[in-house]
Amino acid sequence: MEILETIIGLEVHVQMNTRTKMFCECDNDAFGKPPNTTVCPVCMGHPGTLPVLNEEAVKKAIQVSLALQCTVNRENHFDRKHYFYPDLPAGFQISQYDFPLASSGNVTYEIRDDSGAVQAERTCRITRLHMENDAGKLTHRGSATLVDFNRAGTPLMEIVTEPDLRNSKEASAFAQELRRMIVAIGASEADMFKGMMRFDASISLRLQGTDDLNPRSEIKNLNSFKSLEKALQYEERRLRKLWEETGKPLPCNITTGWLDEEEKTRVLREKETADDYRYFPEPDIPPLVLKESAIAEIRKSLPMLPRQQKQRYKDMALDEKQINLLIEQPALRTIFDAVHKEMHDAKRAAGLVLTQLLGFLNAAGKTVEEGPDADQMLELARKIGDGTISANTGKDVLQKMVTTDKKASTIIAEEGMQNITDEGAIETLVQQAIDANPQAIVSYKEGKSAALGAIIGWVMKESNGQADPQKVQEILRKKV
């Protein structure tokens, strides 16, 4: 019986969050703006206009290239990739063909089980990263098709992997790690829902034990991790069945589309090659020559990447679940890092942010972004740290912060929640406790020192936990 192996490679398109478009001064943030309002003759491809390369886009693409362990190529060329489509006003896309920005990298990623525990570590090699501009967007309404060119000219990075992925789970885990890296760098929000990150997945089969790269099926334009996984699973089953029927792989490369609702692929075209695009050098953009010193400068600007962050949290002795929460949610990470810096105690910071804050947010049906921000959490941590309130009272204050959106200091003042530190007031409370618990005093005098616990407990209860426990003990010891 022949054993078949699945071979998967990805092409990932990521929109960069630069201020302006790739080759013109148009606003690159068209989200929520009326159609065809962030356009100009350059991004509309009018004859006689000249594209000017966006420096910020080049810098961001280099940052990502370095994070992917790629070699950044000193000489870059731009090329015209020709095809006709109503959302491509110039009739060609400006891309990079044989001199891309970066090549030969790799990404290490983790395979996790359903509980989030790491099962295995894998590495996927990166073939190349190149820059290009995005096309516009078509919307189909009944028999009509509407076109919006706001997206035309948005800077894109295309990241191409080697065929190193062996199943849909690996493809999705790799893609998620890639997304985390790009978000950490700040090159894109990579919001899948807004189409900022999209995948083309190539899949083929071969006999296990061979190195054949057989003709592949390329599934175009997958825009969520879920559709990436489902489409690959579907196509894998389909190709295996075809092989069983014909006894061999696909006869030629095919391009397919994924039908989200029907959960199946559809063949769009066959036998497409690079020749069909008639690539030729873009005459209006001179070769981009990068200085080694400039690349070194950009390398220094790289922020901490998710894997390094993960190690940092491991060193703080946080558990896997807590680490995953922080790695997956940048907003939560900002809050935790700020609170941790104040408290100098990872366990207590995790208790406040990952247990209490997340618990209260969940209960209130709010996201991290809708709850207290890092400054507000920092204020609360300081109030606990300087003894204005106890950690226990802090929990009540935090719950109110989440439900009322008020600051910690406002809630403490309004509700009189600060610790009682006034000695006179505590002395009165202690005397009342002694009067109310004569038996405890008798037991203490008989040598049972633990009996004082009952007195302290009484004071704490009477004061709603606001009496300073240190002072209560001191005064009590003086009295008995």
Q: How far is the CB of 290 from Zn ion (least distance, A)?
A: 25
Which of 36/221 has CB closer to Zn ion? 36
Taking CB under 5 A as the binding criterion, the range among 42-50, 69-77, 266-274, 440-448 that sits at the site for Zn ion is 42-50
The span of 25-33, 206-214, 248-256, 304-312 binding Zn ion (CB under 5 A) equals: 25-33
CB of 154 to Zn ion, least distance (A): 10
* Residue 26 touching Zn ion (CB under 5 A): yes
**Closest to Zn ion by CB, 14 or 43:** 43
| Rounded least distance, CB 129 to Zn ion, Å | 24
CA–CA separation, 294 vs 65, rounded Å? 14
Binder of Zn ion out of 43, 374, 408, 441 (CB under 5 A) = 43
Q: Is 53 in the site for Zn ion (CB under 5 A)?
A: no
* Piece of 19-27, 190-198, 282-290, 397-405 that binds Zn ion (CB under 5 A): 19-27
Task: Give the binding-site size for Zn ion (rule: CB under 5 A).
Answer: 5
Closer residue to Zn ion in complex, CB, 24/412: 24
Which C-beta is closer to Zn ion: that of 30 or that of 357?
30
40 binds Zn ion (CB under 5 A): yes
Single out the segment in contact with Zn ion by CB under 5 A; choices: 17-25, 104-112, 444-452, 469-477.
17-25
Q: Which is nearer to Zn ion, 40 or 294 (CB)?
A: 40
Q: How far is the CB of 131 from Zn ion (least distance, A)?
A: 16
Catalog residues that contact Zn ion under the rule CB under 5 A.
Answer: 24, 26, 40, 42-43
